[in-house]
Structure 1
Amino acid sequence: MSDQGSHTNTELKHSPWLVLVVLCLGFFMILLDTTIVNVAIPAMSDDLNASLADVLWILNAYILVYAVLLITAGRLGDLYGPRRLFIVGLVVFTAASAACGFAQNPDQLIAFRVLQGVGGALLTPQTLTALTVIFPPDKRGAAFGIWGGVAGIATLAGPVLGGWLVDDFGWRWIFFVNLPVGILALVGAVIVMPDLKLNRRHRLDWVGTVLVTTALFLITFGLIEGQSHDWGEVWGPVTIVEIIVAGVVLLVVFFLHQWATRDGEPLVPYQIFRDRNFSVMNYVAAAIAFGMLGLFLPLTIFLQSVLGLTALQAGLAFAPMSLISMFIAPFAGRLADRTGGKLILFAGLSLFSLGMGILIASSHVDSTRWHLLPGLVVAGVGLGLTFAPLQTVAMRNVEPRMAGAASGIINTTRQLGGVVGSAAVGALLQAQLTDKLAAAARSQTAGLPAEQRQELLGRFGQSAGDLDIGNSAGGITFPPGTPPQVAELATRIFHTGFVDAMRVTLVLPIAVLASGALTVLLVRRRSAGSTPSESFAPEPGGPSVVPGGR
């Protein structure tokens, strides 16, 4: 289907850098909510009586809905304009954040997190779409660098701001803080965002949306709930394995459906993947998200529930990595404009993997946050070299008329990597905890009286999916009159078992990050003398946006 004649002309009334500020403010709020929730996990677990399985759903309900709606939201941005979808997304996300703050139990919080995911999905693709269109090719890397720097700021601000709010005001304020940010971004969007209309002839693939949403829900549900159901029956004869297999089958059907409708309006336009760099970057983006979300959940629990740090202290422990990443990202973006970004991205992912490996090797029951500093510094350098080059390489050869679909796809693969990473690492952590806590209990209770020993063995021998991972040492409580040494022993068993489980579990996200680094080597380097502007030349009848505001 031809796109000619389907565009409307638009000129920028404000500097693209001012538009960038507004876009980054909304994007900042989305990322802030992801990192800020992690640091509040122990407090939420204690206050809402949420188990580890509940916590995984609080994290993944948002990411899952966010991920499966991103491509559709990118299409809606093409249809109705990025400005309109950005504003709608802001309103939904901000309102849902207020509702999360008033949640009274895990189920309510999970439901409101779903609404947050809808708002975040509507908003996010519009940022990359607008940046790709309003900035000229020679400035696009710098803009992506700032965009990536915002990710670093959110990574820093989330744990630190969240820790302060949790310690001084309570975990509910990690959601209430979104209100002023959302309102400010909303006012800015109404005033400065251009009304870009890229293609009014897009249609939505509702069959594809239903297929991919159902498939991903089944896979994620199986991973999160597997350990708590011993990977067996869930509803009658239906087992966890059957649920996961059904999800995989539906995912295959989804891709077959996309291929069958490739000449129409599929949810995933396959012609975008003819560009090798874009295809490679989709896997790399997924690997980065898999690694980051997979790493930070166990580490957050480790810092607070094992090392005994407050939420603020735990947030500050991640600050060196975030600060370094924030300052390096814009320079990495400008360097990517000149060199193409391949080697920068490879170095970034390699250093991030190395730094996380150093951090895990430094994690022990008696560690302090200073023992973790070397690994965090190395990881911060790597993270700063990652975001901007990834976007530059991925979007370099994408035509502006496909920017909405492309940004939706790469953001979707990133978030799918995150949701699968969080669910897979959560499942592995639960399995390892079930094994390691029982082993620690057996080895450390040998000298206790039989009754007390059986009490501890019973408590630590249950499925880890039902474990309280708050600040109360695995939720173990004892009746009045219990000797203090028994309670101390229970705490030591929980700490030892958790650290042993965490060290094994985190091998998985580091391995995925390392595979992402190796995949970068498949990127086709920009030929000497070529410029990205050739790939971004607007087609006849395309949008007449004045790049760079000139």
Structure 2
Amino acid sequence: MTTLDQPTRSGATQRPVAGTRRPLAAVLAAVGIPMFMVTLDNLVVTTALPVIREELGASLGHLQWFVNAYTLPFAALLLTAAALGDRMGRRRLFLVGIALFTLASAACALATEPWMLITARALQGVGGAAVMPLSLTLLATAVPDRLRDPAIGIWGGISGLGVAVGPVVGGAVVKGLDWSWIFWLNVPVGLVAIVLARLVLTESRAAATRLDPLGLLLSATGVLALVWGVIRGQEHGWTAGPTLAALIAGGVLLVLFVGWERRTPTPMLPMGLFRSRGFRNVNGVTLAFSVGVFGSVFLLAQFFQVAQGQSPLGAGLRTMPWTMAPMVVAPIAGLIVNRVGARTLIVTGQALLAAALGWIAIVASPDVAYASLVPPFLLAGVGMGLTFAPTSTLALASVSPEAQGVASGTLNTIRELGVAIGVAALASIFVANGGYGSSEAFTDGLVAAVGVGAAVVALGALLALRLPGRGR
């Protein structure tokens, strides 16, 4: 069995050295299981939304907040978690994140009112903010250079697995038990993940530097205000006073954050990272990808139930051609990324996703045959699989080893910001062109929103052409 050297406590890079060894499979499990749990909950909730809406008496606004209450603190705190992990200990904060996510999952399961579920989902987002970026950083620091790309590919496959089984698990649980069990399932998984992480992972830190409390405050509040403004804009109008105030405040705070990071001797996000063409552009591609794809998925996950009357389990099973493909394709992409080049894989992936979403927008109708949706679903799944691992690989390869923690946090912050913007913006287009009133109305809104999503992803494909080529 392939084994990995444990990282030492000394030095900024914390690379593996000869000594106590851990199996590669054990390291992947220790970082992958918590990350799987975090990704699983995104689409588990999406699939269960129609049932939760009925049982809790939730409105359309509540449904969006069941998703956005998670992504809001998630996006706002990813950079903070990465920076704190670099200085306080990545494994320590990783364990805290798993524990908080597990407790918040139990609170979600016990919710009896929409506001209770929204609050618990927000706590899940706080825990997930520590899990997602640190899982990738802990993996990168534990894996020798020769195994890093394949390991990141497998990590991407595990993330794809969470996406894949989410709709099916959610549908199966809702059909056979109660919707609350989609959250109860996280409790034993979280407990196992805590034990495994403690046994397998060794503590690692970046170079010993002082914390940047003002940077932490400006970044977290800036992202929080910006995402909240986007969400509120969809619900109450983009020209409403509170919406504009939040968007302007978020923009000003982030400008102040950039200015402060340029001046402080110990920045949490060194602005020099963005001088790298690869790092700068891969974050732009990730934003376009998240806005177009996850905004579309939010609506497509409900299409089979609302427009075609399928059960939650039936809807989950019908999404599997899309959601299972990344689990297979992402590890392959990780294995071949050095041979083919990250740019080629990302451009191809984004082009396939844009084509798939456009295809769905063309053929969607209340009575569309499922067989007509299978080819674009497969195409979209392959596109996502070609995107997951290469974007992470390129982001880490574009920075120095000691900056990989903040690079991972930045990439995941951009991704979650895109999720929030995508759900809010495409839901706004959906409401403007249709609604939940009938199958026809839902399909009209879906077609308009998914068409916009296809255009956004196509822009991401064009931006991906500016990524550095193989060997650069």
Query: Structure 2 CA distance, aligned partners of 1:505 and 1:106?
Result: 26
Q: Give the structure 2 partner of residue 509 of structure 1.
A: 453
Q: Give the structure 2 partner of residue 348 of structure 1.
A: 349
**Of 218, 233, 238, which aligns to 1:211?**
218
**Of 145, 158, 172, which aligns to 2:166?**
158
1:441-460 correspondence to structure 2 within 5 Å:
none
Q: CA deviation at 1:427?
A: 2.5
**SS state at 1:391 partner:** helix
Quick check: which has more Rg, 1 or 2? 1
Q: CA deviation at 1:231?
A: 5.0
Q: Is the 8 A contact 1:288 1:513 kept in 2?
A: yes
Q: Give the structure 2 partner of residue 388 of structure 1.
A: 389
Q: CA deviation at 1:9?
A: 8.7
**Unmatched 5+ stretches in structure 1:** 438-468, 475-493, 531-550
Q: CA deviation at 1:80?
A: 2.1
Q: Is the 8 A contact 2:358 2:454 kept in 1?
A: yes
Q: Give the structure 1 partner of residue 250 of structure 2.
A: 247
Query: Structure 2 CA distance, aligned partners of 1:12 and 1:252?
Result: 45
Query: Structure 2 CA distance, aligned partners of 1:7 and 1:348?
Result: 31
Q: CA deviation at 1:101?
A: 0.6
Q: CA deviation at 1:217?
A: 3.3
The structure that is helix-richer by fraction is 2
Q: CA deviation at 1:255?
A: 2.6
Query: Structure 1 CA distance, aligned partners of 2:20 and 2:352?
Result: 39
* 1:249-280 deviation digits (Å, cap 9, x = unpaired): 3333333333333xx22332112222211111
Q: Is the 8 A contact 1:44 1:50 kept in 2?
A: yes
Q: Is the 8 A contact 1:100 1:175 kept in 2?
A: yes
Query: Structure 2 CA distance, aligned partners of 1:275 and 1:247?
Result: 25
Matched letter for residue 252 of structure 1: V
Q: Give the structure 1 partner of residue 466 of structure 2.
A: 522
- Does 2:26 match 1:82? no
Query: Structure 2 CA distance, aligned partners of 1:327 and 1:193?
Result: 26
Aligned residues: 462
* 1:26-53 deviation digits (Å, cap 9, x = unpaired): 1100000111111011111111111111
Query: Structure 2 CA distance, aligned partners of 1:384 and 1:374?
Result: 15
TM-score by length of 2: 0.92
**SS state at 1:372 partner:** helix
Q: CA deviation at 1:506?
A: 1.8
**SS state at 1:268 partner:** coil
Distance 1:5 1:293, change over 3 A: closer
Distance 1:227 1:62, change over 3 A: closer
**SS state at 2:83 partner:** helix
Q: CA deviation at 1:232?
A: 6.0
Query: Structure 2 CA distance, aligned partners of 1:251 and 1:512?
Result: 23
Q: Give the structure 2 partner of residue 293 of structure 1.
A: 294
TM-score by length of 1: 0.80
Q: Using CA pairs below 8 Å that are at least 6 residues apart, which structure has the higher relative contact order?
A: 1
1:48-127 correspondence to structure 2 within 5 Å:
48-127=56-135
Q: CA deviation at 1:13?
A: 3.3
Of 361-370 and 345-354, the range deviating more from structure 2:
361-370
Matched letter for residue 381 of structure 1: V
* 1:378-411 deviation digits (Å, cap 9, x = unpaired): 1112122111111222211322211111111111
Distance 1:427 1:220, change over 3 A: farther
Query: Structure 1 CA distance, aligned partners of 2:86 and 2:242?
Result: 41
Query: Structure 1 CA distance, aligned partners of 2:345 and 2:12?
Result: 38
Query: Structure 2 CA distance, aligned partners of 1:65 and 1:334?
Result: 33
Q: CA deviation at 1:330?
A: 1.2
Q: Is the 8 A contact 1:92 1:119 kept in 2?
A: yes
Query: Structure 2 CA distance, aligned partners of 1:6 and 1:342?
Result: 29
Distance 1:200 1:12, change over 3 A: farther
Q: Give the structure 2 partner of residue 379 of structure 1.
A: 380
**Of 141, 144, 153, which aligns to 1:136?**
144
Q: Give the structure 2 partner of residue 226 of structure 1.
A: 233
Q: CA deviation at 1:347?
A: 0.7
**SS state at 1:13 partner:** strand
Q: Give the structure 1 partner of residue 155 of structure 2.
A: 147
Q: Is the 8 A contact 1:13 1:192 kept in 2?
A: no
Q: Is the 8 A contact 1:220 1:423 kept in 2?
A: no
Q: Give the structure 2 partner of residue 485 of structure 1.
A: none
Q: Is the 8 A contact 1:340 1:393 kept in 2?
A: no
Query: Structure 2 CA distance, aligned partners of 1:517 and 1:302?
Result: 26
**SS state at 2:215 partner:** helix
Q: Give the structure 2 partner of residue 36 of structure 1.
A: 44
Q: Is the 8 A contact 2:14 2:141 kept in 1?
A: no
Matched letter for residue 517 of structure 1: A
Q: CA deviation at 1:6?
A: 6.5
Query: Structure 2 CA distance, aligned partners of 1:202 and 1:346?
Result: 39
Q: CA RMSD in A?
A: 2.2
Q: Give the structure 2 partner of residue 398 of structure 1.
A: 399
Q: CA deviation at 1:20?
A: 1.3
Query: Structure 2 CA distance, aligned partners of 1:191 and 1:368?
Result: 50
Of 222-231 and 178-187, the range deviating more from structure 2:
222-231
Q: CA deviation at 1:228?
A: 4.2
Q: Give the structure 2 partner of residue 481 of structure 1.
A: none
* 1:261-308 deviation digits (Å, cap 9, x = unpaired): 3xx223321122222111111111222222222011111222111111
Of 146-155 and 505-514, the range deviating more from structure 2:
505-514
* 1:481-501 deviation digits (Å, cap 9, x = unpaired): xxxxxxxxxxxxx22222111
**SS state at 1:370 partner:** helix
Matched letter for residue 193 of structure 1: L
Distance 1:521 1:228, change over 3 A: closer
Q: Give the structure 2 partner of residue 316 of structure 1.
A: 317
- Does 2:264 match 1:256? no
- Does 2:306 match 1:362? no
**SS state at 2:371 partner:** coil
Q: CA deviation at 1:241?
A: 3.2
Distance 1:509 1:270, change over 3 A: same
Matched letter for residue 218 of structure 1: A
**SS state at 1:386 partner:** helix
- Does 2:432 match 1:495? no
**SS state at 2:33 partner:** helix
Q: Is the 8 A contact 2:338 2:470 kept in 1?
A: no
Distance 1:147 1:202, change over 3 A: farther
Q: CA deviation at 1:200?
A: 3.1
Distance 1:398 1:504, change over 3 A: same
Q: CA deviation at 1:201?
A: 2.1
Query: Structure 2 CA distance, aligned partners of 1:298 and 1:180?
Result: 30
Q: Give the structure 1 partner of residue 266 of structure 2.
A: 265
Distance 1:380 1:189, change over 3 A: same
**SS state at 2:22 partner:** coil
Matched letter for residue 153 of structure 1: L
Distance 1:126 1:213, change over 3 A: closer
Q: CA deviation at 1:162?
A: 0.6
Q: CA deviation at 1:227?
A: 5.0
Q: Is the 8 A contact 1:94 1:182 kept in 2?
A: yes
**SS state at 1:14 partner:** strand
Distance 1:145 1:8, change over 3 A: closer
* 1:311-363 deviation digits (Å, cap 9, x = unpaired): 11111111112222211211111110223321111111111111121122221
Q: CA deviation at 1:5?
A: 6.3
Q: CA deviation at 1:243?
A: 3.5
Residue identity (%): 38
